[in-house]
Amino acid sequence: MYGYPITEEEYLILYDESNNDRLIRIENGKLNTEVNTDKKYKPIFILGGIAYRKNKNVNFESLKGILNLQKNIIEMKFIHIARGSFDGVLNSDNLKKFLTWILDNDLYIHYSALNTLYWSSVDIIDDVYVFLKSRGIRIGFKDDSNPFYDDSDMRFNVDYLKNALYTYIKIDKDVFLSFLSSFNYPDIPEGSESKFIRGLYKIIRNKVNSMRRELSNSIEFHWLRSLLDVLKQCKDMSDLTLTKNEQPNILIKSFTDFYFNRLVAFPKSEHLFDEEITIIDKLNRLAKTSKQGEVGNYCFKKSEYYPIQVSDVVAGLFRTIFIFLDDKSLDEVNEFKRNINARQKECLDLLKLLINKSDNESQGFFFRIVPPAINEKNRILFE
């Protein structure tokens, strides 16, 4: 998604976050989120929840009666409603009750979804595009019938290459992170820009060569070959302005911008965030730089506040969805839809109803910074 619409209607918008790692950096060739743990890092951050018109009264107590959770559960979280991978989550009777309650009470759902590894690397492709454009070289993709260079839809072509780079990162993450670390990425030393691009070309080429026999007919292999063809044109690059940042090995310093994004997108709404200590001061500083009326009013609520707990369920659900979309291929998403059982289909249909209702109310309710292939898989899942 490029940019976001400004919604002038007045809502009460409640938020919780899922997978807020606060800071993502490279440590000894690995992500700090993977140090001292055997768990595989899932690069999905969600800021999401529920929303409704300001003048609406909502009986949240009725949801407690419908869900009838165990008495010893002090604070409701997504894991109390559904557990496991996406297919298991869709089997949850409590999730069905939860989604039905949101629909029956005329509420909306919303999310901002960020793929952290994608976000940390896409500027490389933007710099590549700027370089080739300055040389008068058109960038595109190639197959057996397509000319290599084609600027008929430049946004599509740039997205294609961003998708290709993320595909490589997924299948060779440790090598990629070690490579970035060797350049103190994104604080790439002045004069090392060409060396960086040539090095990136080399590690991708090595991976392509190693997978040629087993994956030569796959779409992923095709994407990587196209990316290599483009990078080969950039061996003399001397400028990585969009990529470089004077913060060695820090990929994401804070998620504050994604909170601020919501205030800007809904300037006449009231925003209630789950209390996040690392965000409060930074968001306050950002808000103070804005003119009156440019950002919505906001406050932070402790997680004991039940509507925030309801938002936790929404955020957790969408994180599960985007992890599923990140892990699965296009063919696997299609196969999943063909093979779901009746209970899973019922939950998926309820979720689709909620998404469509919310999107029709305001396109600003859904904001994604994810690889283009995930957007396509998301479309397939909910079509």
Q: Where residue 212 falls among pLDDT bands split at 50, 70, 90?
A: confident
CA 268 from centre of chain: 25
pLDDT tens sequence across 112-127: 999 999 999 999 999 9
SS3 content of the chain, % helix, strand, coil (to 5): 55, 15, 35
Residue 337 located in a structural domain: yes
Evaluate if pTM is beyond 0.85. Answer: yes
Residue 4 located in a structural domain: no
**Tokens coding 337:** 């839809």
Domain count, the chain: 2
3-state SS, residue 202: helix
**Residues 110, 145 within the same domain:** no
Evaluate if residue 172 carries a pLDDT over 90.
yes
Please state the rounded mean pLDDT for residues 69-84. 87
Query: What Rg do the C-alpha atoms of the chain give, in angstroms?
Result: 22
**Residues 123, 94 within the same domain:** no
d(CA 342, CA 284) in angstroms, rounded, equals 47
Nearest to 268 by CA among 111, 55, 108, 47: 55
Residue 239 located in a structural domain: no
pLDDT at position 204: 96
Please state the rounded mean pLDDT for residues 189-218. 90
Residue 312 located in a structural domain: yes
d(CA 330, CA 138) in angstroms, rounded, equals 28
Evaluate if residue 269 carries a pLDDT over 60.
yes
Evaluate if residue 252 carries a pLDDT over 70.
yes
Q: Where residue 149 falls among pLDDT bands split at 50, 70, 90?
A: very low
Residue 285 located in a structural domain: yes
d(CA 230, CA 149) in angstroms, rounded, equals 9
- In one letter, which amino acid is 171? I
Q: Where residue 146 falls among pLDDT bands split at 50, 70, 90?
A: very low
**Residues 35, 18 within the same domain:** yes
pLDDT tens sequence across 22-32: 789 998 888 98
pLDDT tens sequence across 329-357: 999 999 999 999 999 999 999 999 999 99
pLDDT at position 155: 65
pLDDT at position 38: 67
Percent above pLDDT 90 for the chain = 73
Q: Which residues contact 148 (CB under 8 A, 6 or more apart)?
A: 140, 141, 142, 229
Nearest to 41 by CA among 162, 236, 228, 174: 174
**Residues 75, 122 within the same domain:** no
Mean pLDDT, rounded, of the chain: 90
Name which of 153-162, 199-208, 237-246 the model is least confident about: 153-162
Nearest to 179 by CA among 235, 222, 188, 232: 188
**Tokens coding 109:** 């759902």
pLDDT at position 139: 65
Residue 45: which domain range?
11-115+250-382
Nearest to 42 by CA among 294, 298, 323, 362: 323
pLDDT at position 36: 64
Evaluate if residue 147 carries a pLDDT over 50.
no
d(CA 32, CA 19) in angstroms, rounded, equals 14
Q: How many CB atoms lie within 10 A of CB 203?
A: 15
**Residues 89, 125 within the same domain:** no
Q: How far apart are the first and last CA of the chain?
A: 18
Residue 2 located in a structural domain: no
Strand 24-27, strand 270-274: pairing: unpaired
pLDDT at position 67: 92
3-state SS, residue 236: coil
pLDDT tens sequence across 288-298: 988 877 899 99
Angle between helices 116-134 and 219-231 (to 10 degrees): 40
**Tokens coding 334:** 């299609």
pLDDT at position 144: 44
CATH for 287: 3.30.420
C-alpha to C-alpha distances, 41 to 30, 116, 276, 378, nearest whole angstrom: 10, 10, 21, 21
**Residues 211, 354 within the same domain:** no
